[in-house]
Amino acid sequence: MKFSYSWIREFVEGLDVEAKDLERLITMKTAECEGVEIAGELLQDAVPAKVLSSVHIEGTHCSKAVVDAGKYGQRTVVCGAPNCREGITTVYVPLGIKRVAGVDSDGMLASTNELGINKDHGGIVELADGDVLPVADTVIEIDNKSITHRPDLWGHHGMAREVAAITGKTLRDHVNLELLPALGGPVNVEIEDFTLCPRYSALVFENVTVQPSPLWLQHRLTAIGLNPINNIVDLTNLLLAELPQPMHAFDREKLAGGTIFVRRAKAGEKLMALNHEEYELNPANLVITDAAGPVAVAGVIGGLDSAISATTTSIVLESANFNASSVRKTSSALKLRTDASMRFEKALDPVNTTRALARALELLPVLSPGIRLVGGLCQASAELKTAPSIDLDLHWLARKLGRVLEAGEVRRILESLQFGVSEPQAGKFTVSVPTWRATKDVAMPDDLVEEVGRMIGYSTIDPVPPLVPCAPSFDPPEREFLRAKRRFMTSRGFNEVSNYSFISEQEAARFGFAATDHIRVLNPIAAGQELMRTSLLPGLHRNIAENAKHFDQFRIFEIGREIHKRGEEKPVERQHLMAAVFAKDDGRAGLFELKRTVESLASGVVVKPLAETQSWQHPTRSAELFWQGQRLGVLCELHPSLLDAGRAAVLDVDLTLLQEITPAATKYQPIRRFPTSAFDLSIVTGTRELAATLEAAIRANAGVLTEAVEYVREYQGAPLPEGTKSVSFRVVVGAADRTLSSADIEAEREKIVAGLARAGYDLRV
């Protein structure tokens, strides 16, 4: 945002700090400045000049003009403007002698665009009697983000208040509230909801002349990035940049009825706006209407049908205050951000509506001579509440600030910022907050600490470490649990990825997830992020597809939350681990790698084939995981149709459940004193029989001496019959109180063999 140095000087009496130095002071004490530049640089040496003669130069579009340039004397200038003619008063700028069209041109005759007065470059300036040439200005640019919490600083008067406090000067206030008429204007105002519009004020004027603004006003607006339009619109922009109070002028003759309504829009209502765009409105949008319908979107933009034009002779000058959240949501929904909406969405001071009208009453006779006020003040307003006072303990202030200040110094700083200060008892202040700082800005003692601290300068506070006991902090169990899983996965060669918690409807449909099962985001931050994910799969699939373009094999994982709807209740969030192993091979190695991974995460996990697979799962390479009797997750291969090349095995583990059922502690087991023994069993069965099923059958028939059953290998081929295989297991037996004898081992073996035979299994001897 740009601030005029000369404008600020009009408010700060005796300001003698140069613009460059002032920029640094503002940066150190108020807001971050981005630079200083000259606005209308040519105006520094420009003077009014009378054209004494103008002769066309043959073969060119230029004229040879002789001008009376005042203090510069007579000058001969070559000018290409079509309106260069004898007798007009224009502006001369000395730029030295340059040969143009075969003629020595001493300086130039300038257009308003070249002088920085406005954007008109159609010809040179034509000064009328009484026109005063503006002077060059210096502009200080301030980063908008650094004043987003300070709505009062979005106008020159608010910034001048800061400058006066910083430099110890006196602040002038150009507003004369005594100019305001009493209540009772010719137009009624009705507000439907005072929470959306706390105050609406207006004045009616007649005998209005719409014409170009004086050059000083045009230059002032152009210097800070606003475009001059006409005297009435320029006045509203001037007050927007000065107080700051957005205003709007309606052509009274174009308003239907004698009442202005402030209400929510009705479904299907439309407005043709000043930017010649038509907007369809809904009840979430606050509008200004007459008897016929909307004439403006409150706080955002006015309507074209009621706009000021060259034929306007009577106006309704609006000055209102709107709910910041309402304006911000409407502006976002309409994808329309204006100078007015940017200020309203910061929460402006409702008191400012009448201050702006009082200032307009002073300026309008200058801008539109002969203008007349009709009736009194048109206004509807909620009761404006006074912000509660803040108790400030100076000992507490010194402790928070890190520096002891005299009570008088603290009082001086706060009063220079227009806070009211009383001292009911020694060392304790009661501070009243001005209305322009009470709109979500200053509300607690800590805010006052900031005010005092920035004004004395944080560089004046010696950095001292806090004298408080220090103790190591410990992460919550969940965080340490998740960090441990991340360390585990990276130690196995997996690279972590991170995706947004939002997916598109198309992604949900690709994996067979119903959009209705997802929580929908009301205002997505970007297209394709309208649903909150119920699975990490869509994001991980994007990672796989992208990396597969560059690598033949890789392994990745993500730890994140799934968000699941629960009717009217608060959604439930569950931490999940999803890992993938991609390779351009048959995919078997990836599946077994992930199986070993989950077995390391949850020792004793049971893998069972999925009875019914999802559309994104390989129909014959999908299994579900069980641990301690509960379903822990899924191990599968992605359906081949989801990848252009290669195979991807995927592991999905519910980490919330894993943490819940993980034993709190491991019980101590003494070192074994007696050796174990082992024997192998080879079971002949069908080729589709699962090794896990055979292992369970062995364990079911084993006695107390069996300590472990380990898969060894499987074999298919001669001499086994076709359609069968031999699966070998190693059975480890032992006892805690003795070394087993051969008879003990043989008895345990026979018990298992007999049980398997009863279950219908053949053993290979």
CB 751 within 8 A of CB 703: yes
Q: How far apart are CA 683 and CA 703, in angstroms?
A: 19
pLDDT for position 574: 96
Closest CA to 756 of 649, 683, 648: 683
pLDDT band, very low/low/confident/very high, at 466 (cuts 50, 70, 90): confident
Q: Is 454 exposed, middle or buried (0-12, 13-18, 19+ CB in 10 A)?
A: middle
For 590-643, what is each residue's pLDDT tens digit? 999 999 999 999 988 999 999 899 999 999 999 999 999 899 999 999 999 999
Average pLDDT over residues 652-659: 96
Q: How far apart are CA 273 and CA 294, in angstroms?
A: 10
Strands 103-109 and 630-638: what pairing?
unpaired
Helix/strand/coil percent split, the chain, to 5? 30, 30, 40
pLDDT band, very low/low/confident/very high, at 671 (cuts 50, 70, 90): confident
For 286-303, what is each residue's pLDDT tens digit? 999 999 999 999 999 999
End-to-end Cα spacing for the chain: 90
DSSP string, 79-112: E--TT--TT-EEEEEEEEEEEETTEEEEEEE--H
List the structure tokens of 339.
């100078």
pLDDT for position 741: 94
For 100-153, what is each residue's pLDDT tens digit? 999 999 999 999 999 999 999 999 999 999 899 999 999 999 999 999 999 999
Taking the whole predicted model, whether its pTM rises above 0.75 is answered as no
For 693-716, what is each residue's pLDDT tens digit? 899 999 999 999 999 999 999 999
Q: How far apart are CA 690 and CA 529, in angstroms?
A: 42
Count of beta carbons in the 10 Å neighbourhood of residue 464: 8
Ordered structural domains, the chain, with CATH:
2-40+137-171 (3.30.56.10), 41-115 (2.40.50.140), 177-381 (3.50.40.10), 390-459 (3.30.56.10), 477-661 (3.30.930.10), 677-763 (3.30.70.380)
Q: How far apart are CA 547 and CA 540, in angstroms?
A: 11
CB 575 within 8 A of CB 655: yes
pLDDT for position 765: 61
CB-based contacts of 666-675 (< 8 A; 24+ apart in sequence): 672/734, 672/736, 673/736, 674/734, 674/735, 674/736, 674/737, 674/738, 674/739, 675/734, 675/739
